[in-house]
């Protein structure tokens, strides 16, 4: 990616120097029992708690009643590589803000409101509850923030074999896509509908939400490249590889040896790559309307 000419977003909330690990009382990570309870609660709220891109995305306003408690923040100690990665995230966020500020009102008549990116290490608080790095990046509607522990990028590189700067940018743009869905009023509608549906039907709605966010990430890339010529050879392949790497079918096959389509919440590898491509090619928000699509 070419980002040399991109400035700062002015919208990074750096909590990497938080004390107490982000938990009230300075406690450590969640226990297995707590995670199991949160998994059940998460499904009831329309949340997929699985460990993948967007695995902790919350489409409800539940959690801690919209309250965010912050731990004391101190100096951020970081390596040169981590500092460079933080600058990268900031620049990618800047391009997202500038693109959506222009095309969201232009294409849908909806004003864009920025969504800060919260950088944290291991764990922090959000209006959706406790954020921890095992959850992967996620968007929290009650506080309109994207939460990111940058160690996830290393996971992509080593465990998913889906590294590369544009693959990482796709992750950020996917979460911004959920923010756009929220501004369009889609996320609260989905959450209300899921409460009245069976688990299978609720999962199917979640797939449409996720594929739309993939497509909106493509819309961002389309316009960002037109404006700044950010794409270099191999970038699109990196993003498509990342999208395919976190398909429900591939992840389930890797973890348990077989797939259960009724449990899919994010879409197959083929679907995720295809909807990302659709947004890339069209640059149109309307082309991302997965809820009107007869087939995904």
Per-residue confidence at 255, pLDDT binned at 50, 70, 90? confident
* Amino acid 290: pLDDT: 96
In which band, very low, low, confident or very high, does the pLDDT at 36 lie, cut at 50, 70 and 90? very low
Residue 294 pLDDT = 85
pLDDT(42) > 80: no
- Model pLDDT, residue 247: 87
Q: What tokens were used for 179?
A: 């923010």
Q: What is the mean pLDDT of residues 209-220?
A: 97
| The pLDDT of residue 181 | 97
- Which tens digit of pLDDT belongs to each residue from 147-196? 999 999 998 888 888 889 999 999 999 999 999 999 999 999 999 999 99
- The pLDDT of residue 46 is 39
Q: How confident is the model at residue 223 (pLDDT cuts 50, 70, 90)?
A: very high
User: Average pLDDT, stretch 232-243?
Assistant: 93
Residue 6 pLDDT > 70, yes or no?
yes
Span 63-99, pLDDT tens digits: 333 343 444 456 778 888 899 999 999 999 999 999 9
* pLDDT at residue 251 in the model: 83
For residue 79, what are the contacts with CB-CB under 8 A and spacing of at least 6?
A: none
Task: Band the pLDDT of 55: cuts 50, 70, 90.
Answer: very low
Does residue 183 contact residue 110 with C-beta atoms inside 8 Å? Answer: yes
Chain segment 103-150, per-residue pLDDT in tens: 999 999 999 999 999 999 999 999 998 888 888 899 999 999 999 999
What is the per-residue pLDDT for 74?
66
Mean pLDDT estimate for the chain: 83
pLDDT at 250: 87
pLDDT of 40 over the 70 cut: no
Q: What is the pLDDT of residues 16-28, one digit of tens each?
A: 988 544 333 333 3
* pLDDT score, position 33: 36
CA distances from 22 to 27, 31, 118, 141, 228 (A): 8, 15, 13, 19, 37
């Amino acid at each position: 990616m070419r980002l040399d000419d991109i400035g700062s977003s002015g919208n990074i909330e750096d909590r990497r120097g938080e004390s107490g690990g982000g938990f009230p009382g300075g406690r450590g990570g969640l226990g297995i029992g707590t995670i199991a309870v949160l998994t059940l609660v998460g499904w009831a709220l329309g949340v997929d708690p699985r460990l993948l891109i967007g695995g902790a995305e919350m489409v409800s306003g539940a959690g801690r009643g919209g309250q965010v408690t912050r731990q004391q923040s101190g100096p951020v100690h970081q390596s040169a590589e981590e500092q460079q990665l933080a600058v990268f995230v900031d620049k990618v966020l800047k391009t997202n803000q500038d693109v959506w500020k222009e095309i969201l009102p232009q294409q849908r008549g909806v004003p864009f409101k920025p969504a800060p990116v919260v950088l944290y290490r291991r764990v922090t608080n959000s209006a959706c509850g406790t954020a921890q790095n095992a959850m992967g990046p996620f968007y929290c509607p009650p506080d309109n923030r994207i939460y990111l522990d940058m160690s996830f990028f290393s996971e992509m590189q080593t465990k998913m074999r889906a590294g590369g700067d544009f693959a990482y940018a796709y992750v950020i743009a996917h979460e911004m896509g959920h923010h756009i869905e929220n501004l369009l009023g889609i996320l609260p509608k989905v959450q209300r509908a899921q409460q009245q549906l069976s688990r299978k039907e609720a999962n199917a709605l979640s797939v449409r939400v996720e594929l739309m966010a993939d497509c909106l990430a493509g819309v961002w890339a389309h316009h960002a490249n037109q404006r700044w010529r950010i794409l270099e050879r191999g970038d699109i392949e990196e993003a498509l590889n990342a999208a395919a790497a976190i398909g429900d079918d591939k992840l389930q096959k890797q973890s348990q040896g077989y797939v259960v389509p009724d449990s899919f919440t994010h879409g197959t590898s083929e679907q995720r790559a295809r909807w990302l491509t659709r947004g890339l090619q069209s640059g149109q928000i309307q082309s991302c309307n997965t809820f009107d699509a007869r087939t995904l």
